[in-house]
Amino acid sequence: MDTDVIIVGAGPTGLMLAGELRLAGVRPLVLERQPQLWDVPKASGIGGRILDLLRYRGLLERFEAASADPYPPLRLPFGGMHLDFTRMGEAPMKVLPMAQMEIERLLAERADELGAEVRRGHQVNGVRQDEDSVTAEVSGPEGAYTVTARYLVACDGGRSRIRDMAGIMFSGTTYPDVVRLSQVSVGDEVTVHENGDLEVPGFGRVAAGFTRTDNGQLAFATTPDGVLHLSTTEDESVEYDDDVPMDMDELQASIRRVLGAEIPMKDAKRLSRFTFKDRQAEQYRAGRILVAGDAAHLFPATGIALNAGMLDTVNLAWKLGAEIGGWAPEGLLDTYHDERHFAGSRARLHARAQVALRRGLDAAAEALRALFQELAADEQPLRRVGDLIAANDTRYPGAGDHALIGTFAPDLALDTERGASSVAQLMHTARPILLVLTDRPELREIAQGWHDRVEIHTATTDQRPADALLIRPDGHIAWVAAIDEPAEAAASTLREALAAWFGTPLMAAIG
């Protein structure tokens, strides 16, 4: 084999996967058709659960340092309205604003530090697979060549050619909505009122927030430093290539159609356009070819795709590492589809709800929006929706009865034999962890059979949620010993969980 895993696409999903695979002891090769980091504006930040995962890898401070405005007070667009998290003490959804190009730069830097190879200007033109390998036909700056690997992961976007070559269906709907996003400064002739409204010459006052007209929707907000975050949404029959940059003339033409007037603007910091698609791969795996990120799912709402794609890779990487390392239990790699297809469906749930909220134009739709806005004024429903958007509520199915199984491990403050620590610090190496939080020597003894794959830690914490937790490399909990659970029962289920997720114990394999 030329390498262990071929990754097609060096966007955030592909680069995150490359780093995670290196932590799993796997040799990835990333093939990207663009010759250099792409400066076409796309995503403008990361948020939700992926921020916790970056902290669990020891990377969050690096990302925070690269953001000009870490964790601003959040009023999140949702279905043509706003969810106001600013009045909550601890908001369930947080956002770290930064350009996608900067996200890719940091992830590429991390992949390089870990020893991953990224080839830019190399396009994959064909793939074929057999029982043992997958081969990519590539054209690069010096001509055509082939690369063979154990697996190939398509991270090449919503129009993935690799997904099509693998015969994976990508069913769903494309909506007529075209969204144009911008970060600009208003012209000198525009007055910005204290509440954020704009006084537009020749037109009058335009209210901050969302303005609906017969031709679409205009939305804007002004930040304290004077930057205008403005978007338009309108139905169009034209199919745009989202990879082609938008210019100021296109944005102004859209504003004229929607509002009936131009808003003088200058100094564009971001101009981008995209269409709303609601699609999901029917299978995330076809033999030795897998899909992740936009190649696996597209959502008809903003601020979801990049976070979901990066979380796909964290779930997938350690499972590929287990397969290539030879210790994966039967069916482990198939759980990638089971779990991340489920997570993608949860994300589609709130994205589709946003479609219903924003596209309705009759009195019933107005009533729906009014009712939703009333509910979102109360903390409990607002927190629930926020957790859904952030993917905080993701609990992978079929893992067990305890409420913690399948959820993301909380970042407990720990007192270990080596001093103060935390769950996040223990997860920096992306290794499975058995965390014993009380005097349960029988659990440590059982786990010794898997000590080559599973780290064993004993610690105390002020408010322990259980006697012990088995935490997977992606941060999700695979097994729990309930507080004061009888030794025999806990020992039995721990053996089952270790075998189910981490294969045959070392002693059994030797014996």
Residue 197 lies in a domain: yes
Tokens 């409990």 belong to: 380
CB atoms within 10 A of CB 462: 8
Region of poorest pLDDT, from 111-120, 145-154, 232-241, 257-266: 232-241
361 with 460, same domain: the answer is no
65 with 182, same domain: the answer is no
Hey, is 35 helix, strand or coil?
coil
Confidence of residue 405 (pLDDT cuts 50, 70, 90): very high
155 with 52, same domain: the answer is yes
Average pLDDT over residues 62-69: 93
Q: Per-residue DSSP letters for 224-262?
A: TTSEEEEEEEEE-S----TTSPP-HHHHHHHHHHHHSS-
Residue 93: which CATH number?
A: 3.50.50.60
373 with 357, same domain: the answer is yes
Output the CA–CA distances (angstroms, integers) from residue 325 to 14, 86, 319, 329, 333, in the order listed.
Answer: 21, 46, 10, 11, 13
Residue 196: which CATH number?
A: 3.30.70.2450
**Rounded Cα distance, 8 and 294, in Å:** 12
Average pLDDT, the chain: 92
Q: Per-residue DSSP letters for 53-102?
A: HHHHTT-HHHHHHH-SSSS---EEEETTEEEE-TT-SS-S--EEE--HHH
305 with 265, same domain: the answer is no
Range of the domain at 473: 413-510
Residue 395 lies in a domain: no
Which pLDDT value is given to residue 195?
Answer: 87
288 with 345, same domain: the answer is yes
| Per-residue exposure over 310-333, b if at least 16 CB sit within 10 Å of its own CB, e if not | bbbbbbbbbbbbbbbbebbeeebb
Partner residues linked to 29 by β-bridges: 6, 117
Share of the chain above pLDDT 90, in %: 72
Residue 408 lies in a domain: no
**Rounded Cα distance, 56 and 424, in Å:** 4
Highest mean pLDDT among 90-99, 307-316, 357-366: 307-316
Which pLDDT value is given to residue 511?
Answer: 38
pLDDT over threshold 60, residue 510: no
**Rounded Cα distance, 103 and 109, in Å:** 10
49 with 109, same domain: the answer is yes
Residue 351: which of 385, 326, 317, 382 has the closest Cα?
Answer: 385
Residue 454: which CATH number?
A: 3.40.30.120
Number of domains into which the chain is organized = 3
pTM of the model: 0.92
141 with 289, same domain: the answer is yes
pLDDT over threshold 70, residue 322: yes
Which pLDDT value is given to residue 507?
Answer: 62
Query: pLDDT tens digits for 454-495?
Result: 999 999 999 999 999 999 999 999 999 999 999 999 999 999
Average pLDDT over residues 199-203: 89
Distance of CA 93 to the CA centre of its chain: 13
Structure tokens at 292: 């992740």
44 with 129, same domain: the answer is yes
Confidence of residue 242 (pLDDT cuts 50, 70, 90): low
Average pLDDT over residues 372-390: 95
